[in-house]
Amino acid sequence: MTYSNTRSYLPIAAPPLRSVPLHFSAACFIGALLTDITYWKTAEMMWTNFSAWLLTSGLVLGGLAAIAALVDLFVGRLPLRGATNWLYVVGNIAAFVVSLFNAFIHSRDAWSSVVPTGLILSMVATVLIVINACLGWTILRQRIGGLE
């Protein structure tokens, strides 16, 4: 029995370069919300440090995702056709900007670094991330389904 060297491939959308740093950035921002809530409930200073590090890591990864998104835009993996795609891009930028302001708030000292402004900004960033995840899923379904 002989096997052929030819393989058949199912054509699907190529994974975007921005995908991995964007998802890890989102995880860091959501983690910052969880550590902010923990600090709010316990008043343990360690949790504000965790929040600050998670925000910093999320911002660095978000910056890498932005660079990768520009590459995806020029290569054609990030088409900016339609309102959903624009909302996705603007939503990601908004989550990054809110988290940047949150990092500045977290640079304050002790209780005022988290409660209430830092906690609210973490919640806003998380809501934006969830909305962007839904938009990203819609865009991916459109690309795979050939609707775009």
Give the C-alpha separation, 88 to 76, whole Å.
16
SS3 for 119? Answer: helix
Give the C-alpha separation, 59 to 53, whole Å.
10
Q: Is the pLDDT of residue 6 over 60?
A: no
Within 13 Å of residue 61, how many CA atoms lie on the same side as its CB? Answer: 19
Residue 31 one-letter amino acid: G
Q: pLDDT tens for residues 42-94? A: 999 999 999 999 999 999 999 999 999 999 889 887 778 889 989 999 999 99
pLDDT at 37: 97
Alpha-carbon separation of residue 135 from 9, 51, 58, 85, 138 (angstroms): 27, 26, 20, 8, 5
pLDDT at 82: 87
